Amino acid sequence: MGRTLDGIWVATCTAMMVSTLLRRVMDEIVKEFLIESSDNLDRLDQELVKLESEPTSKELLASIFRTIHTIKGSCGFLGFPRLEKLAHTAEGLLARLRDGDLALTQPITNALLGVVDAVRQMLRAIESSGQDGSEDYAALIERLGELQQPLSRESTTPSEPDVSSTASLAEKTQATGPPQVSPPPKTSDRAHPECDAVIVKSAETRDSAEEKLAHASSPTAGGEIIRVAVHLVDRLLNLVGELVLARNQLLQFQNRASDAGFQAVCQRTNLITTELQEQVMKARMQPMENIWNKFPRTVRDLALNCGKEVQLELEGQETELDRTVLEAIRDPLMHLVRNAIDHGIETPETRKKAGKNPAGVVRLRALHQGGQVNIEVIDDGAGLNRERIRKRAIEHGIVSPQQAGSMADRDLFQLIFLSGFSTAEKVTKVSGRGVGMDVVRAGVEKIGGGIDVQSADGKGTSIKIRIPLTLAIIPALMVASGGECFAIPQANVLELVRLESADGLETVHGAPVYRLRGRLLPLVYLNRELQMDRGEAAETAGSAVNLAVLQADGREFGLVVDTILDTQEIVVKPLSQQLKGLNAYSGATILGDGRIALILDIPGLAQRALMVSDSREQLAKAKAFAQEVNAGREALLLVECGLRSRMAIPISLVSRLEEFPVTAIELAGTQEVIQYRGQIMPIVRLTRVLSGVEARAEAATACLKVVVSGESGGSVGLVVDKILDIVDEYPSIENPSRRRGVLGSCVIQKRVTEMLDVPGLVADMGAGRLESLPR
Amino acid sequence: MSNSQQFCTFVLQGMLFGTPVTRVQEVILQRPMTPVPLAPHVVRGLINLRGQIVMVLDLRRQLGFPDFAAGQSPVHLVVHTCNGPVSLLVDDIGNVLELDKEILQRPPETLRGFSREVLRGVYQLPEGLLLELDIDRVVDLWDLKKSLAQNHVGPESNDSANAVAMHKRGE
């Protein structure tokens, strides 16, 4: 039994029982044990789930038995009695399964998976405190014992290992211990050994998943995989990048030189550099299965939890992705799978009624396509319920009933990614609280990916995620502003617009906007936003304006830059922590000539310039309002107040238009009022309130144009400069405003017009928030 | 031997500063620098050090001295920090000196404010005084934040220490 023990370090350790050395060596051994066990546990998860479908597989059973046994042996020696006891009991159960005394049943699988979880928790405790925790898992051990009962024999099976002998294990292993895969313990101070290491594989090991499994479970098949610290690979990548630059310079010399020998050397250097770059990039790549191997277990547990039968199919496990991308995609994927099981797949009864196989299928598929990786999460469940999405969208005021009716499926399905939007009728433990899909989308977009939904009623849903192969190299648009070069990730770029003159730009109370095919696009000047002094030239009227239309966080805006250069594949390099805090740059890159360009953090920039988060609420409000306008089919009163500023008020809120002499204004406290039809009506000077600009000095004979809003008793007078028109247009409000008293702006009669928030103004006045102090 | 330490010395505003050589990665001459808009005043920009992007701090600004004169070409002293290498701009680089730790003295009590924070002590040399700089303090995020606040509040000041004290409003 000592043969299979992970013992080489254990063995060498016993030989080194020097008291001062012991402690350090023990720490190293424990660290090594933790890394190895965490790998082993992952394999156990997979193998146990697999065993459920092939309960008679002797090979699988043997492999599981061996793994548990290894854990037991090691922890016995290292002095983790609770962990050892648990592993021992599990081993006993497994021995019976292996010997055919017991048949595998679901309770047994559950209990064994429970053991895996418990061991994992204990390992975590060991990692943080050095002890195997206080929990002794008595109930679980008892359960394992019970499960062994039905076919128990009088004597213990010969194969059942003897705990008392663990102390002598070390000596036995010394002679027979198999060659170990693990590298010598390092003296580095890595805090989380598991997450700090990347598996670097030699090319030969790229075989099928089955082979790998067999491969991993045979202890002698090591040697082809080594653990390498991630920072080492990153450093290599850095140096290779530098080598590429040096190579480029060398090639320039080559063109000038006539020496044939030199030419040949340059050529070879060129080839080797290219090859080296490719290989180092590959070293950072990891197969999809690194995260997928956790899924079978999760799916099994979830399906049991939801009372559903689910089959998980994995396709394209060998698809390779950059390690950082892989990490970033793990949670979104897990969420989608969870959704598919909880919402997508129906209960076995429903499925039978619909004439489907009672067991639903969730298929995960990954493939490379055009420099990107496509990952699909496909279920054959009920599909998305269009009606329910429509209903929810109308309830939330996101679309009007008319709009909802005419929406294309694609747009409709995109609604499920909105925050707070859940169509689940009941909240379950698993999902349905309305948070989730928005997080999934945010997660995917963060790494420059996109997400698409397709669904057929009764046939299932397919969610397709497109993500870049790597975050280390991204396509980017290079722009110049203020004399500096900046990179914008291509994922954020929608289109580029060049205006021959600045005349096309308008302002809404000082905020620049551009009308892009009837929509209002808020503009952000990069040089102003970054507070760079130079680059005023772009803003002078008459000269051409370059706009990059960008999207971030579901909002669009135009970034005004001096010059748009070109698109490039850039190597992303991290910035120091201090500069990341600026919330303006996501990294930096080195250009072909060795100069550095900063990579703009578009969501960060949008937040700086547009207050994206604040406007969400406004957006909902504006949409609700637009819907009201649409539903009521009512007209708008157009007024002018302040310098060339047009405002619209829904006619339903206007009771009369009046003119008063200035002398009619009286004061009640600090509030300007007018006696109107036997009431005291407070008045609001829109120009002053909205723009903070004092109206022109009024002659005593001047007349005030007042829009009376609200019914008698609660009416308010809005002082405007000019009444313009009444129109029958039903514009959609586009740019929710962050200013008090304004809902947003829209285009009416081909001019930018702001929608007045009358109820908001009245409420503000009631709360004394508006300063209406007269001179 | 155990009581002495090698120091890399450099000159700033006519004063001799030093830091243990073990902290110094390399010394490089002027090279193209990319400014970082919105960054604190002391951050002069980024340089490309063999493929690695290194932040450049202006030690004159950080210590509250007047800015480098036009035409002056400062030297990059690239030092190790816990966040990777950082370049400090100094006037000139001096010799490597081996100094006895025992002659280290505390900074004079009359020294106040920021300068006191970043000095570990003073060595008395025959030709003058050598001020030992505490690199970790110089590149400390917190100090950067303070100067960020200063940067936001007002125009550059020749005495950043005082300015920092005045504007320490926790914004």
Interface A-B, measured as beta-carbon pairs within 8 A, has a size of 65
Average model confidence (pLDDT) for chain A?
73
The token duo for A757 is 């928030």
- What is the per-residue DSSP string for A335-346? HHHHHIIIIISP
Are residues A239 and B51, on separate chains, in Cβ contact within 8 Å?
A: yes
- Indicate yes or no: CB of A578 within 8 angstroms of CB of B50: no
Tell me if A550 sits within 8 A of A517, measured CB to CB: no
| Chain A CB contacts of B55 below 8 Å | 575-576, 578-579
Instruction: Report angle CA A248, A251, A254 to the nearest 5 degrees.
Output: 160
Helix (H, G, I), strand (E, B) or coil at A450: strand
Distances (CA, A) of A470 to A118, A570, A636, B141: 35, 11, 52, 30
The beta-carbon neighbor of A484 closest among B34, B40, B43 is B34
Q: What is the mean pLDDT of residues A113-133?
A: 79
Q: Residue A164: is its pLDDT beyond 50? A: no
The answer, yes or no, to whether residue A2 has pLDDT greater than 50, is no
Indicate the pLDDT class of residue A697, thresholds 50, 70 and 90.
low
Q: Which of A245, A531, A595 sits opposite B34 (nearest CB)?
A: A595
Vertex A120: Cα angle to A115 and A124 (nearest 5): 145
Helix (H, G, I), strand (E, B) or coil at A298: helix
Is B171 within a domain?
A: no
CB contact under 8 A, B53 and A482: no
Place of tokens 């002499």: A661
Complete edge-to-edge strand list for the sheet that includes strand A450-456: A310-315, A360-369, A372-379, A460-468, A450-456
Look at A590 and B34 and tell me if their CB atoms are within 8 Å. Answer: no
Span B114-159, pLDDT tens digits: 667 788 888 888 888 888 888 888 877 545 455 545 444 433 333 4
Q: Exposure pattern of A128-155 as b/e (b: 16+ CB <10 Å)?
A: eeeebbeeebeebbebbeebbeeeeeee
For residue B32, which of B51, B45, B18, B19 has the smallest C-alpha distance?
B45
Are the C-beta atoms of A707 and A657 separated by less than 8 Å?
yes
Confidence of residue A479 (pLDDT cuts 50, 70, 90): very high
Q: CB of A696 within 8 A of CB of A650? A: no
Hunting for tokens 């797949």 — which residue is that? Answer: A345
With contacts defined as CB-CB under 8 Å, which chain B residues touch A575?
46, 53, 55
Residues of A in contact with B144 (CB under 8 A): 578
CA–CA dist B63, B58 (Å, integer) = 9
A596/B46 CB distance under 8 A: yes
Of B35, B84, B144, the CB nearest to A484: B35
Asked whether A76 and A91 are in contact (CB, 8 A), the reply is: no
- For residues A561-590, one letter each, b for 16 or more C-beta atoms within 10 angstroms of the residue's C-beta and e for the rest, the string is bbebeeebebbbbebbebbeebebbbbbbb
pLDDT digits (tens, 9 = 90+) for B23-46: 999 999 888 899 998 888 888 999
Spatial strand order of the sheet with B24-28 comes to B24-28, B75-81, B84-90, B52-58, B43-49
Count of C-beta atoms within a 10 Å radius of residue B95: 10
Contacts of A769 (CB under 8 A, 6+ apart): A740
Give the model's confidence band at A424: pLDDT under 50 very low, under 70 low, under 90 confident, else very high.
low
Q: Which helix (H) or strand (E) holds A666?
A: strand A666-668
Interface of A with B (CB under 8 A): 238-239, 241-242, 245, 482, 484, 530-532, 573-579, 582, 584-585, 588, 590, 594-598
Residue A412: CB atoms within 10 Å: 18
Cβ of B34 and A594 within 8 Å? no
> What is the pLDDT at residue A610?
67
Mean pLDDT along residues A148-158: 48
* Residue A143 reports pLDDT greater than 60: yes
Contacts of A328 (CB under 8 A, 6+ apart): A443, A446, A447, A471
Mutate to test the interface with B, among A575, A578, A585, A600 (most CBs of B within 10 A): A578
Rounded to a whole number, what is the distance in Å from the CA of B34 to chain A's nearest CA? 6
Distances (CA, A) of B8 to A617, B24, B130: 58, 8, 11
In degrees and rounded to multiples of 5, residue A322 shows phi and psi of -65, 145
3-state secondary structure of A136: coil
**Interface predicted TM-score of the whole assembly (ipTM), two decimals:** 0.78
Residue B81: closest C-alpha in chain A: A576
Is the C-alpha dihedral spanning A557, A563, A568, A571 positive or negative?
negative
- What pLDDT sits at residue A658? 79
Q: What is the pLDDT of residue B167?
A: 39
Q: What is the DSSP secondary structure assignment for residue A699, as one 8-state letter?
A: P
- pLDDT score at A23: 67
Q: Which pLDDT score, from 0 to 100, does residue B46 have?
A: 93
Q: Which residues of B touch A (CB under 8 A)?
A: 32, 34-40, 43, 46-48, 50-53, 55, 83-84, 86, 141, 144
Q: How far is A24 from chain B (nearest CA, A)?
A: 25
A531 contacts B50? CB cut-off 8 A: no
For chain B, what is the domain count? 1
How many other CB atoms are found less than 10 A from the CB of residue A688?
19
CA A167 to chain centre: 49
Chain segment A304-342, per-residue pLDDT in tens = 888 888 888 888 888 888 887 888 888 888 888 888 888
Q: What pLDDT is recorded for position A487?
A: 93
Residue among B37, B39, B141 minimizing CB distance to A577: B141
Name residue, tokens 């990179």: A487
Could you identify the residue written with the tokens 């509250």?
B64
CA distance A578 to A607: 19
**Closest by Cβ to B51, choosing from A238, A578, A595:** A238
pLDDT on residue A153: 43
B49–chain A nearest CA distance, Å: 9
CA B52 to chain A, closest CA, distance in angstroms equals: 7
Distance, C-alpha B91 to centroid of its chain: 11
Option in B43, B48, B141 nearest A594 (CB): B48
Cβ contact A590–B48 (<8 Å): yes
Strand-pairing partners, residue A496, are: A548
Give A530's contacts in chain B (Cβ within 8 Å): 37-38
A595 in helix, strand or coil?
A: coil
CA distances to A89, A93, A152, A766 from A146, rounded to whole Å, are: 11, 10, 10, 73
If one compares A700 and B138, the residue with the highest pLDDT of the two is B138
Task: List the one residue out of A712, A707, A737 whose CA is nearest residue A722.
Answer: A707
CB B168 within 8 A of CB B72: no
In sequence order, the 6+-apart residues with CB closer than 8 A to the CB of A158 are: none
Q: Which residue of B has its CA nearest to A573?
A: B53
Dig out the tokens for A755 from the structure.
Answer: 């929608």
In whole angstroms, give the CA distance from residue A663 to residue A701.
8
> Given this model, what pLDDT does residue A204 score?
38
With CB atoms and an 8 Å threshold, state whether A578 touches B51: no
What CA–CA distance (Å, rounded) separates A28 from A25? Answer: 5
* Backbone torsions φ then ψ of A367, nearest 5 degrees: -155, 150
The pLDDT assigned to A176 comes to 40
Say whether B53 and A577 touch across the interface (CB within 8 A).
no
What is d(CA A459, CA A408) in angstroms, rounded to the nearest whole number?
19
Say if residue A607's pLDDT is above 80.
no
A594/B83 CB distance under 8 A: no
- A578·B144 Cβ contact <8 A: yes
In a domain, B19, yes or no: yes
Q: Which of A33-47, A270-284, A614-628 has the highest mean pLDDT?
A: A270-284
User: Which pLDDT score, from 0 to 100, does residue A165 have?
Assistant: 39
Q: The domain that contains B118 carries what CATH number?
A: 2.40.50.180
Pick B83's closest partner by Cβ from A530, A577, A582: A577
pTM over 0.90: no
Q: Which residue has the tokens 């006519």?
A: B14
Q: What percent of chain B has pLDDT over 90?
A: 24
Q: Which two tokens stand for residue A575?
A: 């910035």
Using CA atoms of A322, A323, A329, A334 in order, give the dihedral in degrees to the nearest 10. 130
Nearest CA in chain B to A237: B51
Give me A571's structure tokens: 């190597």
Judge: B37–A242 Cβ closer than 8 Å, yes or no.
no
The model's pLDDT over A287-298, given as tens digits with 9 standing for 90+, comes to: 888 888 888 888
Confidence of residue A370 (pLDDT cuts 50, 70, 90): low
Looking at residue A110, its pLDDT comes to 83
DSSP calls for chain B: -TTEEEEEEEEETTEEEEEEGGGEEEEE-----B--TTS-TTEEEEEEETTEEEEEEEHHHHHTPPPPPTT---EEEEEEETTEEEEEEESEEEEEEEEEGGGEEPPPTT--HHHHHHEEEEEEETTEEEEEE-HHHHT-HHHHHHHHHHHHHSS--S-HHHHHHHT----
What domains, with CATH codes, occur in chain A?
A: 2-192 (1.20.120.160), 229-283 (1.10.287), 289-467 (3.30.565.10), 473-610 (2.30.30.40), 613-766 (2.40.50.180)
Cα distances from A682 to residues A114, A379, A674, B50, in angstroms, run 71, 61, 6, 70
Write the single-letter amino acid at A262: F
Cβ within 8 Å, pair B36-A242 = no
Are A241 and B51 within 8 A, CB to CB?
Answer: yes
**What is the token pair recorded at A10?**
């254990």
Which candidate in A236, A576, A598 is best for mutational testing of the B interface (most B CBs within 10 A)? Answer: A576
Comparing A223 with B61, which gets the higher pLDDT? Answer: B61
For residue B116, the enclosing domain spans: 4-166
* Among the ranges given (A103-117, A224-238, A735-749), the one the predictor scored with the smallest mean pLDDT: A735-749
Q: Which two tokens stand for residue A226?
A: 């080594």
Chain B residue with Cα closest to A597: B34
**DSSP 8-state class, residue A449:** -
d(CA A329, CA A326): 5
Q: Do A576 and B83 count as a contact with CB atoms less than 8 A apart?
A: yes
Nearest to A584 among B38, B50, B51 (CB): B38
What's the confidence (pLDDT) of residue B81? 85
Mutation choice for A interface testing from B28, B43, B50, B53 by most A CBs within 10 A = B53
